[in-house]
Structure 1
Amino acid sequence: MDKTVPPGAAILLDFIRETEVGRSDRASYDVIYGHNQAKLPQPLTTMTYGEVVDAQKGWSKQFGSSAAGSYQFMRATLIDLAKAVHSISGADRFTPDLQDRLGYRLLVRRGYPEFITGKISLVQFGENLAKEWASFPVLVSCKGAHRVLKRGQSYYAGDGLNKALVRPEKVEAVLKQVLEATRRPHEPVEEQTPAVAEKTVVADPGDLAKSPGKSKTVWTWALAGLGAAVSAAGDFLGGLDWRAQLLISAATVGFAVYGIKRRADLTRAVRSLKAELEA
């Protein structure tokens, strides 16, 4: 099922697909009326939208109906949908996902939003579905397309072609399941605080809010490095070889500079995280 189709509508479309073509697997999207898909030169889902509509011209005479795909779209229906949905192109492949989106579009036309919000009754929505899909029964006695109907008959009963393929009790059960799915509260998603890499630097948390130039931590590192350098310079002639002492001094200053840079990076990271959490 295409991921853009809401959960409740997906339940209903699965049921419609199985009722209309007798199966709900991937192959159901290649079915045409009378299960004559093997007579086509190529699978329906490999054809473009335009190719399907063009091919349907002769299907009514050849097979008895132009109904195509998982939701048995009539040729007139596909032409009408292409006019109404501007994102559809004749060059689009008639894929399962596209068929699902088109099926959902038909549900919306038949009052799906009004049904799930309680603006129309289950019985009325059931009749609307029966008008769109001939295999569906009306849920109460009513005037059909050709005659007065009894509960359980196809809306098009009497045309010599269509009849209901599912009992009204089953339709009612599925529609109630759809309502439950749409009204089911979403499970809360636990908020996850972005992980901050642990630092071995010991500093006052409040110190991190200060700029690097005002930070006690930064000045401690800087003075320590400077003191080490001065101490080493004073011992050039009396201690270690002056080259060794100079190397030690340079390394100490280097560590101090590195510490200052890392402190600045950490400050920016903490401020950025704080801004994200407050947003």
Structure 2
Amino acid sequence: MRRQILALALLAVCTGLPAAALAQAVSLLGEGGIFGAGSALVPVRHAPPVMQDAPDTDEGAGPSLFAGREGASLFAPGTPRAERMRMREGRNGLGHGPAGLRLSGTSAFFAASVRDLIARAEAGSKGYDAVQHGARIPPPRRPTEMSIAEIYAWIKATPRQPHAIGRYQFIPSTLRRLVNELGIDERTRFSPEVQDRLADLLLEEAGMGAFLAGSIDRRSFMNNLAKIWAGFPNSSGKSHYHGYAGNRATMTWAQFSAKIDSIFPG
């Protein structure tokens, strides 16, 4: 306790903040506080990644497949998610919530390259306007011409059919979760930019930031991607969801590995 009091006083001197304010912050962090070994300053919540080609369901996916890998972030290494989610921007309808997640530099290049690979495995020639081929009743217009609210309305009006949509084949439960997490207004058009932003959040959940930081290896990152996008094979050579609702890998493990090597040389 004496050590904590001394450290608190030192923080107050260095930061200029009142000691009472720092004491309140420490009390909010729990028994370990900022002085406890291994404790995080801000807890990080990892939403569970959801297979993009799964049958539509509103049920939760259970605990995160990638829990415990919050040490690196695709968006801002070292920045807690709670702090990132307070960021905002005022363009393209994305400023109606915590959507201020923009990539730059090498992170943006790598993310764009991986997104191109996902599109090859999932969307085919339709790209951003792709709709799962099993949908008997397609959307009334091209997905990129529709608002997110209109896509939700199409999903509600056409039950008992697959609804995977867009370049990254978002299923309804995943689409809603990502839109809510980024705080995107439902009136926003389902544009290529919006789809890319949603996919980037899935890439973070797959551990791409951790992979770039060296916290996980290439094989683990590839298997994580395969747990989200059924078109990718895992290290067994088959889709992680092979045979489930007709899913299969659209490329071999060797092809997948070669593509990842070309994106991340060395």
* Alignment TM-score, normalising by the size of structure 1: 0.54
Distance in 2 (CA, whole Å) between partners of 1:127 and 1:59 is 33
Q: Do the aligned partners of 1:136 and 1:164 also contact (CA within 8 Å) in 2? A: yes
| 3-state SS in 1 of match to 2:244 | coil
Larger radius of gyration: 1
Distance in 2 (CA, whole Å) between partners of 1:114 and 1:30 is 31
Runs of 4+ in structure 1 deviating by more than 6 angstroms, as ranges, are none
Distance in 2 (CA, whole Å) between partners of 1:138 and 1:33 is 22
**Aligned amino acid, residue 77 of structure 1:** T
Specify whether residues 44 and 83 from structure 1 end up closer, same or farther in structure 2 by C-alpha distance, changes over 3 A only. Answer: same
Structure 2: where are the runs of 5+ without partners?
1-101
Task: Quote how far apart the aligned CAs of 1:59 are.
Answer: 4.8
Aligned match of 2:249? 164
Q: Do the aligned partners of 2:231 and 2:247 also contact (CA within 8 Å) in 1? A: yes
Note if 1:69 corresponds to 2:166: yes
Q: More helix by proportion, 1 or 2?
A: 1
The aligned runs of 1:197-208 (5 Å cut-off) are none
Task: Quote how far apart the aligned CAs of 1:57 are.
Answer: 3.2
Specify whether residues 60 and 138 from structure 1 end up closer, same or farther in structure 2 by C-alpha distance, changes over 3 A only. Answer: farther
Q: How many residues align structurally?
A: 163
Task: Quote how far apart the aligned CAs of 1:137 are.
Answer: 0.5
Q: Do the aligned partners of 2:124 and 2:130 also contact (CA within 8 Å) in 1? A: no
Note if 1:42 corresponds to 2:127: no
Note if 1:111 corresponds to 2:207: yes
The aligned runs of 1:66-145 (5 Å cut-off) are 66-86=163-183, 88-139=184-235
Distance in 1 (CA, whole Å) between partners of 2:150 and 2:178 is 15
Q: How many percent of aligned residue pairs carry the same amino acid?
A: 32
What is the aligned-residue RMSD (CA, Å)? 2.3
Task: Quote how far apart the aligned CAs of 1:122 are.
Answer: 1.1
Q: Do the aligned partners of 2:131 and 2:138 also contact (CA within 8 Å) in 1? A: no
Aligned match of 1:174? 259
Distance in 2 (CA, whole Å) between partners of 1:128 and 1:114 is 12
Bigger RCO (CA 8 Å, 6+ sep): 2
Distance in 2 (CA, whole Å) between partners of 1:127 and 1:155 is 8
The aligned runs of 1:130-279 (5 Å cut-off) are 130-139=226-235, 151-180=236-265
Distance in 2 (CA, whole Å) between partners of 1:100 and 1:8 is 13
Note if 1:21 corresponds to 2:117: no
Distance in 2 (CA, whole Å) between partners of 1:28 and 1:35 is 16
Task: Quote how far apart the aligned CAs of 1:6 are.
Answer: 0.5
Q: Do the aligned partners of 1:70 and 1:99 also contact (CA within 8 Å) in 2? A: yes
